[in-house]
Structure 1
Amino acid sequence: MTCAAYVGLETSATAIAANEQTQKRLSHETVEAHAETHAAGYDIVCSFQVLEHVADPASFITACLKALRPGGLLFFSTPNADSFVSMVVNYTLDLAPHHVTHWHESTWENMPQFFPMTLEWIKNEPFQEYHRAHYANTMALALARRAVGLPEKRVDASPGHEEALRLAKQLNDAALAILADPRVLPARGHTTLACFRKNS
């Protein structure tokens, strides 16, 4: 697939200014504003690692579809809420205000009920080697929390969590040793990619 022409949308004036030297085609506007003047103007719309930051996903998706011609393709990628990432406690980069929504595979599957589009496919990124230590830390803490009787939580500032952190440090080396065997690594990685086709 080749791209004859493209435009990128950027809401940060600082990023737009930094881009001036690269000569890439960027427009300083939201997708909602862009879709008003470019309705049905694109064959493909891509939104990679953006949707989880958007305060109004319905408005964003509707605008993406408005910018697409009938039959055009819409690609989204987000962190995979069905992966180990959702088990990380006090992970500030996966909490509001940084991430305001979380996206499960079932969410992608059900989206055509609410928007005029058809799901073409969903792909899960394979587990990446550079996440091995992060995964080991997450599993060690999950085991430690269970050992001290704590429930699964995304945010926890309790004394029990501090106790679990101390225990997890002792378990972490063992977890890393176990994860040296690729057979015990999870199949799903950090990111999910979904492709939709706008209904005619």
Structure 2
Amino acid sequence: MTEVLATDTIVITGRKGVLIDNDAVSLIQNWLSDTVLLSHTVLRDNPLQLIVLRKFQKILLISPATDLSRSIMHVAENDDELLSSNFQFTYSLTNTAATCEKDYLKLPERDHLFLISPPTSPPPEFDYTRCEERPSTIENVTTHLPRSHMSGEADDDKGVLLVSDVGSITIDRCQTQKSDDEMVPVMALEQRRTAAPPRSLFDSDDE
């Protein structure tokens, strides 16, 4: 028979549906006081710990030394038939005292990089089904050219946008009814410059 490796922690569970309740805790506490604690000297500075895990239905006995834990196991298996028939005693896989002090690895010096997806073209919020809004007919349209480049204005309804050796571009302003007695000079709809929708990377020159 292979000998079980002893550790400083014993796990106690109930047999045959025995619950780990207050009565079970009192029974084990009194049993330890009447047996193991009388034969071994356990000081206040390094006591025997009894930890109740009610949610997991387990009791942990953490001994200050492995020898005490081995003695508890020996007494439980051989000296008390009532106790061993109601509870099961097993060693933990590792010593609790060796794992009480957590020694985690520290993160090395590091830089933070924040990565995002590249913008799409056109932007995701662009609505292809939406028509262009009608240009405003209230504000007057003015040219971006300096006043010195405009010449040959016959009256307020006409203006020269560009003059060159090849020819000139003349703007004729149309009269639009604003109210019953007021006329406001504005450009016709087909004469206004409007912004085209953004061009997509998937658009071809043939379209």
TM-score norm. by structure 1 comes to 0.22
Higher RCO, Cα 8 Å, sep 6+: 1
Q: TM-score, normalised by structure 2?
A: 0.21
